[in-house]
Amino acid sequence: MGSCNISQFPEWLRTQKEVESLSFSSASISGALPKWFGDMPLSDLDLSHNSVSGSFLNLPSSLIVLELSNNSFSGPLPRDIGDAMPALEELHLSDNLINGSIPASLCKMTRMFHMDLSRNRLSGNLPYCLKDLQEMWILKLASNRLSGVIPESLILSLGDNGLSGKIPNWLGANLAYLGFLNLRNNNFNGSIPSQLCQLSYLQILDLAGNDLTRNIPNCLGNISGMTMSVSAHFFEWTGDKIVQVLNGVELAYTTTLLLLVNMDLSSNKLVGEISEELSALSVLLGLNLSHNHLTGSIPDKVGDLKSLISLDFSSNHLSGTIPQSMSALTSLSHLNLSHNFFSGKIPTGPQLQTLDDPSIYAGNTELCGAPLPNKCPGQPSRAAPMPTSHEERDEDDESDKLMFYLVVMSGYATGLWGVLGVLLFKKQWRPVSGCDQRQNTSGNRRESSQAEDEESSRRVNAM
């Protein structure tokens, strides 16, 4: 009856005496477990993603699978929980408000193979007897307040706690099928044990946010789970939530978890060079070595990481040029090489050119080329060429002035000769001199007198 909005446990359930499997996930149920729940012959109970509160009393002793994640259970785990449900094989209590320490009676659940107590408020040390749970292959205790050292038992997820000491060497020898190792944000110190290279099925190695020192083991490049597609038939993680940092952000993975291949060794004190062998991790999606003390250059074969979508080498002491082979990373969507000592020209490529944020290369003062504003030596500028000295600019200014005056003077001369030419050939437009004016006046008088004589003659004849 998952996803049915029923708000509370229906009373008719108490009459069902043969129900073995019961699912009320995401049914908007609130309140405490009813007392009659313990009388039901259940082997499989799923009440996840509700608002069920209270304690863990009134649960059937016949349970094999108990799914109570994403609820509001509070208080400590019952001290006798191992005696109350001895047949339990799967226990899912993540994302609740459970506090206190982990009771040692859990070690009596000898058939347990999947236990998830992550994202609660558990504190104290891990029970040493967990090493006796031989069937255990998934143990998730991330995002609690646990402290102390790791007992010799299978470790899957212990991130975001206060665990300390060295990462045990026996992890690689005893946990052959381990696929996910999360120890991020703890207080582990010492070196990364080379025995981790024996974890052939490892797909996620997350040791970020610790105090790990010394070199990165070269043999990490031999982990089969990161060099080829390995069948992960033993990971039944459907519905589980695993938090990883990829593309520079923290993401929760559930249904796509089996496809995730990630190595995060950031925020430690690792030294030495980046091993060329890491370039063999051909199915790796994310590689984060940022915020360490790494030196040397980026391996020339970094372009062999064909599946890489996120690469972060920022805040180290890396130097040299950025390999041109990086242009072969055609799936890369997140790149951060800032705050190192790289020099030379930034390589170009179809995918690299889409990563045009200058902050990717910030703090590398000797780098040049797009997307940075400083051009490389000999690289032509897209802008119009400008004079390189004050003398050249002055010469250009004088030339412009001379050309301006020549144009103005030629226009003036052309206009002047046009006017003079018209006056030369058009007599009517010429100015009249004093002599010519007197001759014209005398002539006019003679013509006027002749006209008067002719008029007088015509009048006499008429009479």
Q: pLDDT tens for residues 367-403?
A: 999 999 988 887 655 443 444 444 444 555 565 556 6
Q: How far is the C-alpha of 417 from the C-alpha of 207, rounded, in Å?
A: 93
Interval 454-463: pLDDT, tens: 554 554 444 4
Cα-Cα-Cα-Cα torsion 95, 99, 100, 102, nearest 10 degrees, comes to -10
Cα-Cα-Cα-Cα torsion 175, 177, 179, 182, nearest 10 degrees, comes to -10
The CATH number linked to 3 is 3.80.10.10
Q: Which amino acid is at 237?
A: W
Predicted confidence at residue 278, as pLDDT, reads 93
Q: How far is the C-alpha of 129 from the C-alpha of 330, rounded, in Å?
A: 48
Question: Is residue 36 assigned to a domain?
Answer: yes
Q: Given CA atoms 386, 387, 388, 389 in this order, what sign does their dihedral have?
A: negative
Predicted confidence at residue 229, as pLDDT, reads 58
Residue 462, by phi and psi: left (phi above 0), alpha (psi -120 to 50) or beta?
Answer: alpha
Question: Is residue 179 assigned to a domain?
Answer: no
Q: Which domain holds residue 65?
A: 1-154
Q: How far is the C-alpha of 264 from the C-alpha of 281, rounded, in Å?
A: 13
Question: Is residue 264 assigned to a domain?
Answer: no
Question: Is residue 127 assigned to a domain?
Answer: yes
Predicted confidence at residue 55, as pLDDT, reads 76
Q: How far is the C-alpha of 293 from the C-alpha of 266, rounded, in Å?
A: 10
Contact 66, 88 (CB under 8 A): yes
Question: Is residue 405 assigned to a domain?
Answer: no
Q: How far is the C-alpha of 23 from the C-alpha of 25, rounded, in Å?
A: 6
Predicted confidence at residue 155, as pLDDT, reads 52
Question: Is residue 135 assigned to a domain?
Answer: yes
Contact 308, 328 (CB under 8 A): no
Residue 187 has φ and ψ, to the nearest 5°, of -125, 35
Q: How far is the C-alpha of 60 from the C-alpha of 103, rounded, in Å?
A: 19
Q: What are the E-state strand segments in 41-186? A: 44-46, 51-54, 65-67, 72-76, 90-92, 97-100, 114-116, 121-125, 138-140, 145-148, 162-166, 180-182
Question: Is residue 42 assigned to a domain?
Answer: yes
- What domain count does the chain have? 1
| Below-70 pLDDT ranges, the chain | 57, 131-132, 134, 149-156, 173-177, 229-243, 251-258, 379-463
Question: Is residue 112 assigned to a domain?
Answer: yes
